[in-house]
Structure 1
Amino acid sequence: MGFRSSMNYYYAAFLCITVLLPAALCYGGDYSRATYYGRPDFLGTPTGACGFGEYGRFVNDGRVTGVSRLYRGGSGCGACYRVRCTIPEDCSEEGTRVVVTDYGEGDKTDFILSQAAFESLARPYKAQHLFAYGVVGVEFKRVPCLYYRRFIFLVLPQSRYPAYLAIVPLYQPGTFDIIAIEIFQADRGEWRPMRRAYGTVFDITEAPLGVITLRYKSVDYGDPESWVQLNEVIPSDWKAGHAYEIEIPA
């Protein structure tokens, strides 16, 4: 980068931060539209397409969203986005962070937000204005999920010990998508692929006995695909409906 282009770059950054917009608004993101779905408790839905179940109602304090093109066949489940609406007199400068838990299509919208998430787009005392619009323009960008390098895997209630195992990665730290999961079969010394049943639900029949070691293939905004191994993720006496936590490698 030459001196002139360097100066232009830093001038643009300075302009964004100090003149044009507050730092919180310098998203550098994409533009779309957002609406909301009506639940009287303002929370998410326990029947979302990602397979989070009841957990999908409460993750991120209920600030969750269904998405259309960002769903990416289920690999977009668990992704975090910073979203702000674009009506200056009604929309907060910071916007809100939402987690993808569902699939949905609206009127040229990428986001169908829970009411809690939609309300958090607003300036103080302006939420009813946004609800009256029904659909608002938004700026959004993918951001890291704040899970401190930890995964929680939920063993779904339909799992049947020891033969059939269905899991959901509840926490997806960072900005990557999980596009595949494999499970290690120790007695054969080989990795076996798990099936993406739907959303972010992965399952396997004839699950191996003993402690479960997994690896997942991730892709992160144009970076090469890579495998990450998680040793001893799930105990040998796993139980359906239980969640198991592990720290991912640095």
Structure 2
Amino acid sequence: MGTLSSLAVLAALLSFAAVGGAVDGSAEYDTSTDLTPAGADWNASEATKYWGPWTPARATWYGQPEGAGPDDNGGACGFKHVNRYPFMSMGSCGNQPLFKDGKGCGSCYKIRCRKDQSCSGRTETVIITDMNYYPVAPFHFDLSGTAFGRLAKPGLNDKLRHSGIIDIEFTRVPCEFPGLKIGFHVEEYSNPVYFAVLVEYEDGDGDVVQVDLMESRGPGGGRWTRMRESWGSIWRLDSNHRLQAPFSIRIRNESGKTLVANKVIPANWRPNTFYRSFVQYS
């Protein structure tokens, strides 16, 4: 999460409380709705799925005004080049109910803002790509500068960004990445007894709650071996034998859907390499 909102946002809230009105002296911060249930832990993990009704949240932004968020175009999910397709700089940090210890990485949400005078009211789709460590609401989207500006009326992008904290609504939606189904980036230090893979570009549900690997031959051939979540959307397998590729990878989503990418990692796989696959659903 970037410095603009993750650190300065707390100072903005204190400033607001002190003056009893606008965060920036001009745009009024709406407090008409208390979003905080009694005893709520804003970083508590929840199993709730958000498909359906619009839910109130708050949004901030970080990074460059027209940027993708993180300075390295990555984030706490481990995704690469979030400034490029399919992310197109429309990423967001999520606090724990959205990030879910990394299992929310890749989830897509439609968001909209209507209370700030600079808001257009139209919906935009954002993808969870990063972690929000300093939430200001039970559901807090810390958007890229690009995504935050897209919520504004034409010509008012900078004015809306100047508001700092805005009330929004969100709803979970399927990810739509035309031309992509799923991709796997074999991480840099992978070797015959340690295999780590970043799961990204998952069309559909977007999230990943479990990953399994099947070797094509050898001691683990023909059976699924459970991988462990390393961090973000990176999953790893520490093996007691030399792993025998090609590898098939099976993914389970939060909705319970299972995706299988058969022999997606070839026999001559290399670390720091991206492999793409069409998948079978079950």
| Consecutive unaligned residues in structure 1, runs of 5 or more | 1-26
Q: Which residue of 2 aligns with 1:106?
A: 135
C-alpha distance after superposition, 1:11-67 (max 9, x if no partner): xxxxxxxxxxxxxxxx83111000001336612323521111x42343521111000
Query: Any unmatched runs of 5+ in structure 2?
Result: 1-51
Match of 1:34 among 48, 52, 59: 59
Contact 2:186 2:273 in 1 (8 A): yes
Q: 1:71 is matched by which residue type in structure 2?
A: F
Paired residue total: 218
Question: What is the identity, as a one-letter code, of the residue corresponding to 2:129?
Answer: T
SS at match of 2:236: strand
- 1:85 is the counterpart of 2:113: yes
Structure (1/2) with the larger helix percentage = 1
TM alignment of 1:117-132, pairs within 5 A:
117-132=147-162
Letter in 2 for 1:86: R
Once the 2 structures are TM-superposed, how far is the Cα of residue 123 of structure 1 from its aligned partner? 0.9
- Residues 153 and 168 in structure 1, CA contact (< 8 A), matched pair in contact too: yes
More strand by share: 1
Q: Which residue of 1 aligns with 2:77?
A: 50
2: CA distance, partners of 1:226 / 1:150: 14
Any conservation in 1 of the 2:110–2:171 contact (CA below 8 Å)?
A: yes
Q: Once the two structures are superposed, what CA deviation does each residue of 1:79-130 show, in whole Å capped at 9, x if it has no partner?
A: 1111111236421232311111100133225100010111111110111221
TM-score norm. by structure 1 comes to 0.80
Aligned alpha-carbon RMSD (Å):
2.1
The partner residue of 2:237 within 204, 208, 221 is: 204
Given the superposition, is the C-alpha separation of residues 88 and 136 from structure 1 closer, same or farther in structure 2, using an over 3 Å criterion?
Answer: closer
Whether contact under 8 Å (2:106, 2:206) holds in the other structure is no
Q: Is the 8 A contact 1:86 1:136 kept in 2?
A: no
Report the equivalent of 2:168: 138
What is the CA–CA distance in structure 2 between the aligned matches of 1:151 and 1:126, rounded to whole Å?
36
